[in-house]
Each structure stands twice: as C-alpha cells, then as structure tokens.
Amino acid sequence: MIAIGVLGLGNVGTGFMELLNSGKQTIENRLGTSVSVKKILVRDTGRPRARLAAGIITDRPDDILEDPSISIVVELMGGLEPARTYIRRALSRGKSVVTANKEVVSCYGAELMDLARENGVRFLFEGSVGGGIPIIRPIKECLAANEIHSVTGILNGTTNFILTRMEEDSMELDDALAEAQRLGYAEADPANDITGADVARKIAILATMAFRRGIIPDVVSTTGIDRVTLADMRYAGELGYRVKLLGHVGRRDDGYEAWVAPALVPLSHPLAGVRDSYNAVMVEGNACGTLMFYGRGAGGLPTASAVMGDVMEVIRGGPLPKFSFTSDSSLALLDSRTAVAPFYIRLKAKDEPGVLAAVSGVFGRHGISLSMVLQKNAAGGIAEIVIVTHKTHLGAIHDALIDLTSLSEVPAVDNYLRVWR
Amino acid sequence: MIAIGVLGLGNVGTGFMELLNSGKQTIENRLGTSVSVKKILVRDTGRPRARLAAGIITDRPDDILEDPSISIVVELMGGLEPARTYIRRALSRGKSVVTANKEVVSCYGAELMDLARENGVRFLFEGSVGGGIPIIRPIKECLAANEIHSVTGILNGTTNFILTRMEEDSMELDDALAEAQRLGYAEADPANDITGADVARKIAILATMAFRRGIIPDVVSTTGIDRVTLADMRYAGELGYRVKLLGHVGRRDDGYEAWVAPALVPLSHPLAGVRDSYNAVMVEGNACGTLMFYGRGAGGLPTASAVMGDVMEVIRGGPLPKFSFTSDSSLALLDSRTAVAPFYIRLKAKDEPGVLAAVSGVFGRHGISLSMVLQKNAAGGIAEIVIVTHKTHLGAIHDALIDLTSLSEVPAVDNYLRVWR
C-alpha cells in the first residue's frame, strides 16, 4: 500500500485525481500494489474543488511533508516558491518527488536531482515539458546510447494556437490571443507565452537531459511571437514556409547554442504540420537519426498522464538511476551572434531604379548572399521587399540591418526572422 | 563487466557493433560499468564483415548460448528459425534477451515473455517496431496509467517511400519500387512490404503492448499497396487527401479491430506529413490524448539505437517488470465487415443521363450516404466517377460494390479504399 501526498489541486491536480480514481484498478493491477492519495495540500480548504476531496484536504504542508507514511510527494502547485522549498523538504525526508513544475525544474532541476541522489530517492518531472508527450524518459533511457546533436520543438500550445489562427483564419495576433483566452488556452496574463519565456524554460530542461549539463532559462536567447505580423505569415506562405515559435538547443563544432524564436519552417518539414495547441519535440542523435514526439503539450489530463507514469516508475522501484548528470558544470553557450541560419527580412524601399542594387549591395558588403527576393509594389512610391538569405551569421544580419536603416532609400526595416533549415 | 553475445552480423548487427565501439565511453559512463561483446554468431566466418570482427566471431551457437559468463544475448538474425529456438535457449539458461526480430516477437512474443518471467530475466524488443523510434517502452511505461483506445501507424518505410514517389513524382508503383530497391530501401523480394504482411506483424506487436493480450499477425485483416494506382493518388489529392499504408488496432464499444490497408488520410492530419521512408505511430489514450512518435523506421544505426537502449535497461537492472500481460487469452477481433469508416470508390460508368442516379441508388439501398461525388469524362462515352461516402460499414460497401458491378451502366468498379477519420 503506497501513500501519496499531493501538493496543489489546480488543473493538473484535478486531472491527476480524476485519472487515479477512474483508472485505479488498472493502475494497481499493473503495479501489483494498491495506491492511494492520503492528503492534498490546498491554499483554501473552503473552495468548491477542495470540498470535493473533503477528508483528505489540508492547508498545512506539514501534514504531507512530515508524515512518514507518505513515500511519494506529487508537486502540482506551479511557481517557484513555496514549491521549491516543499520539494527540498520532501526529498530531504526521504520521499520521492514527482512534479510537473517547469519553473522549478528549469531553475533548480540540477540541485534537486543532486538532493534526490543524496537521499536515495527519485525526482521525476516528465510532466514539466510537453504535457502528455513522453519526452524526458525517452531521451534519458531509450536514447541513452546516442550522442544527441540537437533538440528542437514547438513547446508552447498557446502561441502555436495563435500562429495557426493567424495563418489559417487571417486573424491579427491580438484577436487570435483573445480567442485563445476565450477558449482557456491562454492565461489572463499571457506574457510568459507571448515573450517565449515559457519555451525558454522547457529548452533549459531539455538541454539538461540531452547534454547532461544544466543551463538556466535566463541564458537562452529568447524572442517572442509579438514580432510576427500577418504580413510575415503571408510572405512566408508564398515562399513555401510556415511561421512557428521554435525552441532549440544544439551542439555545434565549437560549443552549444540555445535559443527561442519565431522561425520560418519549410512546409514539408514535420514541425510545419503541428497545428493548433499541439506541441512537438524533434530530437536528432548520432544513431537514432531524426525523431519527433507529438501531442498535447498542456491540459489537466494529458499532464496527469505523464505525472502518473512517473509515480508508477517510482513505485516499480529498482536501483536509482545512474544518470550521469553533472550539476556543478553548466552548459557554456556560444554568443547568439554566431548562430548560423538563413534569414528572412522584410523592409520598405523607395520604388526607384537602383534601390534593389543598393539593398543587395549592403548584404554583399557583409558577406551575405541572397537566395530569394520578392518585390511588391505598395502605395506612395514605396515597395515592400522580402528577402531570404543563404546561411549566414546572425551577427552579420544585425550589422547589415543597421546599415540598411541608414540608407535613405530604405524608410524602414520591418522585420527579420530566422529560417529553419 | 557485462559480457554480451550477439547473434547475427547483418545490417543491424553491424550498426550495433559500430554504435558500441563509437559510443563505448559514453555508454559505460552512463551505466557505471564496462560492457563488451564476447562473441558474435555468424553463418559464415569467412565473409569480409565477419573477418572485421576476427577473434570474437563464431559459427557455433553454443559458444554464446552455453557460455555462463554471457549474461545478455542480442538476437539480430531475423526470421523465425533458428532465432526463436536460440532465444528460448538463452532465456532458459537465465540470460536476458534483446531482439529486433519482428517475426519472432509478433508470432511468439507472448510465450517468450512468459519464459523470461519464469527464468527471472528480461525479454526486450524496442527495435522490432519502428526502428529507432521509442514506442514499445513509452507505451509500456510512460503511458502505463492510460487506457489506450487505439494505435495507428505508418509502419513500413519501403511502402511509404513508394507512395511518396508516386504522389510527388507521378511515378507508377513498379517504377517507384524499382527505385526503392536501387536505393536499398526494398529487398529483392519485396512481397512482405507490398502486401502489408510486414505491417501486420508490427500491428500484432503494438496490439499486444497496448491491450496486454496477444494477437498474431495472421488474424489482422491485411491489404497491401498493390491496389493503389496513380489515378487514386491524383483523385485523393483533388479531394484533400494523401494515400498512406496504415496499420491500426483499436478498441471499440463491442470489441477490438485490427487491420492493415492503404487509406486516404486528410492533408491536415499529422500522419499525412510523414514522407519518404519515415515511420510514425499515433497512440490515442484516455488521458494522454493523441500522441505521435515519428522517425526512421528501419536501418542499421537507428535500429541499433533502440537495441542498445534495451541492453542498457537490462544492465541497469532493478525488479523485473510486473507487466500484466496475459499470454493465455488473446485479443478477440471483430469481423472486419463491421469496421466503420468513410470509403473512397472509383468506378467507370456510361456517360448517359440517369447513370449517376442509378449508381447513387445502389448506395442508398445499402444505407450508405455519399459525401462527395466527382465525375470526370473519359474517352469513348465512359465517365470515371469518384465517390467518398459518409461513415458506413465495410460490409455494406462490399455488398454495394457487388450490386454496382451487376449494373449494365457500370462496366467496372476500379477500386475502393478506406478513408481515415
């Protein structure tokens, strides 16, 4: 008989209780032992949700953290504090911890894995990235024989929903965001989604698993989708691309790079087919080749599926993983200016002879060659020019754009975006 | 120090040795133990490949099966016999077995899992389905808390390559097959690929993992891609679909169904984006929702990646899995006539007034309603009619097609294919 303590009864906590209740017999048959939730910590025991779990509800963390009969703590509160403190206390008292908390795992995963090891218990967090998609364990175990080259993903369902609505329904970003909020995909304050901060956390976690050295979200070069306009979407489509918010971490000859940015993905690429609020993670390894894991990246039940899978792993037991993770050395990232990719640039130029030569001259002086140029005549003697470059350094693009803005023939450089190889 | 015996040094065996040699340090660091291949069984020790592994090569199975210092046997011979006998002998002598042999696992997986359990060892086979794609372990472990509703996949790289060439390059099936053979994707005798038999094996294995009761490939209703013509490809495209060879096993209210057949997949569906020799497996569960696992479904190194992941799991050890698999009860499948889907039908009809009414009248009498009708005028007073029905029983389609062929206005019913929901 295994006793579990649950911290938090929000969306994922409720999904976890629902899944445990509906699947109790199957889960217990598969484990050969009985499992029950002894206590659930909530902030307010008077709320309707909490009343549904009457009898096992508490607002005192010690009822779970100090109860020696509880061997597994499932942390589903979210946010850095007090979640981190509770997880530390649980691990220190010899309890295994399962969490779906991307903030805590991305910022303190290394220290918490160390603490779990010191105490001879487990710290598992499949639910912290990609919701119901199995990705942490496949990287850690199934692909354990691989040298991983890169991990690239669509890791935020809200922004992918917004970009899909912009593309398919020609909605402006603000309208698509309002619809996402109406449907419950986006929170009242969508800043973490829109700015890419949420994806940076997930990339930090995936980088740690893939390269076995920690990085924190703050060092991931991060650009959000607020830069993307309907005009970019349409030009991308004309050129054979779709705009997606990508997170990436990869090994290069000279080091590692990690970034989050909206990018043009070729229509034939599997990531281009990921629509609406779905997520997908692409992993490239020396032996496995290119893999992609696709599914619901959020939501109560899908995340609960991942959390329960981890709980079942804790219960199955076995020797503690010899996951050779070194928390004391972190992944040194290359300067983002050294990143190499093709780039998409949209600018306004005077519709006069010689302007295109002046524009391409600037690129030439920075060693950038162009692969596609699209000129559209706009009103008032001003043309819109869309350019896709061959592979070049981000730093060269930055420098070229500064020079372009100083040209009198170029009233505005409207946008530039990375193109995914 | 772990000693491994390898049976077979073909494509996957060579990939396995290559991966172990190039990644030895990483693999041993991750395991905290050293690993080496003590013996490799080959049929002919005089072949060049075998000479490369001189010193550890043997043509006597007993050198591996009767060596008590070898604790893990990796079976990469393929084919039913003698592979099955060797696996049984290894398990009986207390050795864990890792295999990528889809023939053996699909036909004898249940008995071999039982035998492993009786002998307190492991029998793992991630490499037997989907090459380098982690799918067996995610279903068994990550999704262990789910009731799985269905598993649907593109599980044969050769036929997916052929269908992609037919669609994208307007090649006839035979020409695309010849190109697949030239590129090494298809074997000299491609029958197992073309007829769907290879996919039926993989569906049998996936069904066993998803529903924890065995089925053998012979009971899977199987149709190959030889039915698919360029004309079907083009009409599918016009109607918003792409033709893919799908394997499916699913739970319905009244039982289970399992089939392999070419099907029209909507262009917006993630499986439609799986091109060339790639594979993908879609899993639907009550909590995880819709997941898809995508990657290289064959090839020496990708399959070796899966095999080595299993070897590392055996070495990590821990309690034997309490996988509640019942080998004594097999999954009872429903009559394939009861399958429900929309269907695509292509037929020739006289280009006369009243013919379309006669044709649709036949469907009406069988309770089948139509969702799309496309009429193309062909030569000689004969029109080609393409129909997509609403959801109906396969049995009703069969009956309607028999009636249609007896109409004097319908010289030929050329094809019918399932449409994926």
CA A275 – CA A240 distance, rounded (Å):
16
Asked if B269 and B249 touch (Cβ cutoff 8 Å), the reply is no
Q: What distance in Å separates residue A122's CA from the closest CA in chain B?
A: 14
pLDDT in tens, B62-113: 999 999 999 999 999 999 999 999 999 999 999 999 999 999 999 999 899 9
pLDDT in tens, B260-312: 999 999 999 999 999 999 999 999 999 999 999 999 988 899 999 999 999 99
Q: Do B145 and A308 touch (CB under 8 A)?
A: yes
Annotation: CATH topology of B136-296: Dihydrodipicolinate Reductase; domain 2 (3.30.360)
* Residue in B26, B286, B288, B292 to test binding to A, most A beta-carbons within 10 Å: B288
All residues of chain B having their beta carbon less than 8 Å from the beta carbon of residue A147 are: 23, 26
Determine if the peptide bond prior to B134 is cis (ω within 30°).
no
Q: State the pLDDT at residue B5.
A: 98
C-alpha span between A261 and B18 (Å, rounded):
36
Q: What is the pLDDT of residue A323?
A: 57
Contacts 24+ apart (CB under 8 A), B21-29: B22/A286, B23/A145, B23/A146, B23/A147, B23/A286, B23/A287, B23/B308, B26/A145, B26/A147, B27/A144, B27/A145, B27/B308, B27/B312, B29/A324
Q: What is the pLDDT of residue B52?
A: 67
Q: Which residues of A touch B317 (CB under 8 A)?
A: 318-319
Pair A135, A302: CB distance under 8 Å: no
Q: Are strands B70-75 and A340-341 parallel, antiparallel or unpaired?
A: unpaired
Cβ contacts below 8 Å, chain A against chain B, sum to 197
- SS3 category, A414: strand
Please give the pLDDT value at position A320.
76
Of the partner residues A26, A294, A305, the one whose CB lies closest to the CB of residue B294: A294
Q: How far is A129 from chain B (nearest CA, A)?
A: 13
- Alpha carbons within 13 angstroms on the beta-carbon side of residue A29 total 12
pLDDT of residue A345: 97
User: What DSSP string runs through B35-83?
Assistant: EEEEEEE-S-TTSHHHHHTTTSEES-THHHHT-TTEEEEEE---SSTTH
User: Among the residues of A195-328, which ranges form H helices?
Assistant: 197-211, 230-238, 300-316
Which pLDDT does position A186 carry in this prediction?
A: 82
Name chain A contacts of B309, Cβ cutoff 8 Å: 141-145
Q: Measuring CA to CA, which residue among B181, B158, B197, B162 is closest to residue B297?
A: B158
CA distance B67 to chain A (A): 26
Task: Kindly identify which residue of chain A lies nearest to residue B24, measuring between CA atoms.
Answer: A145
The string of DSSP letters for B335-387 reads PGGG-EE-EEEEEEEE-STTHHHHHHHHHHHTT--EEEEEEEE-STTEEEEEE
Residues of A in contact with B306 (CB under 8 A): 142, 288
Question: Is there a contact between A142 and B309 if contact means CB atoms under 8 Å apart?
Answer: yes
Distance of alpha carbon A107 from alpha carbon A193, whole angstroms = 17
- Give the ipTM of the model, two decimals please: 0.93
At B322, the pLDDT band (50, 70, 90 cuts) reads low
Q: Which residues of chain B does A31 touch, with a Cβ-Cβ cutoff of 8 Å? A: 322
Say whether B292 and A291 touch across the interface (CB within 8 A). Answer: no
CB contact under 8 A, B287 and A19: yes
- For A12, name the nearest residue in chain B, comparing CA atoms only: B287
At B236 the pLDDT is 96
Partners of B126 on chain A (C-beta within 8 Å) are 142
Instruction: Check whether B323 has a pLDDT greater than 70.
Output: no
Closest B-chain CA to A143: B309
With bands split at pLDDT 50, 70 and 90, how would you rate the model's confidence at B50? Answer: low
How much is the pLDDT for B127?
96
* Residue B324: predicted pLDDT: 54
Chain B residue numbers touching A306 (CB-CB < 8 A):
142, 288
**Contact assessment for residue A291 and residue A282, using Cβ atoms and an 8 Å cutoff:** yes
Dist. CA B225–CA B227, nearest whole Å: 5
| Cα distance between residue A9 and residue A21, in whole Å | 15
CB contact under 8 A, A294 and B19: no
Select from B134, B272, B287 the Cβ nearest to the Cβ of A138: B134
**What pLDDT shows up at residue A158?**
95
- CA A410 to CA A382: how far, in whole Å? 9
CB A4 within 8 A of CB A99: no
Residues of B in contact with A289 (CB under 8 A): 132, 295-296, 299, 301-302
Per the listing, tokens 């989050």 go with: A260
Domain boundaries, chain A: 2-132+303-330, 136-296, 338-419
| Equal fold, B2-132+303-329 vs B338-419 | no
> The tokens of A87 are what?
């997880």
**Could you give the CA distance from residue A260 to residue A244 in angstroms, rounded to a whole number?**
11
Q: Is the pTM of this model over 0.90?
A: yes
Q: Do B286 and A32 touch (CB under 8 A)?
A: no
Cα separation, A201 vs A128, whole angstroms: 9
**CATH T-level assignment (fold) for domain A2-132+303-330:** Rossmann fold (3.40.50)
Min distance A415 CA to chain B CA atoms (Å): 29
Query: What is the architecture of the domain spanning B338-419?
Result: 2-Layer Sandwich (3.30)
User: Over chain A (421 residues), what is each successive 10-residue block's mean pLDDT?
Assistant: 96 94 92 94 83 84 98 96 98 98 94 93 96 94 93 97 96 95 86 96 95 89 95 95 98 93 96 95 97 94 96 88 61 89 96 91 97 86 94 97 95 96 81
Q: Is the peptide bond before A82 cis (omega within 30 degrees of 0)?
A: yes
**For residue B12, what is the nearest residue in chain A, using CA coordinates?**
A287
Q: Do B322 and A126 touch (CB under 8 A)?
A: no
Does residue B320 have a pLDDT over 90? Answer: no
Of A19, A319, A322, which is closest to B145 when you measure between CB atoms?
A: A19
User: Taking CB atoms and an 8 Å limit, are B141 and A29 in contact across chains?
Assistant: no
Q: What is the mean pLDDT of residues B129-138?
A: 95
* Active-site residue (options: B39, B95, B202, B244): B202
Q: Which chain B residues are closer than 8 Å to A293 by Cβ? A: 291-294
- B289 and A306: CB-CB below 8 Å? no
Q: What percent of chain B has pLDDT over 70?
A: 97
The Cα of B226 is separated from the nearest Cα of chain A by a number of Å equal to 26
What CATH number does the domain located at B2-132+303-329 have? 3.40.50.720
CA A52 to chain centre: 33
Q: Which candidate in A39, A202, A348, A391 is catalytic?
A: A202
Nearest residue of chain A to residue B211 (CA atoms):
A26
User: Is residue B140 annotated as a catalytic residue, yes or no?
Assistant: no
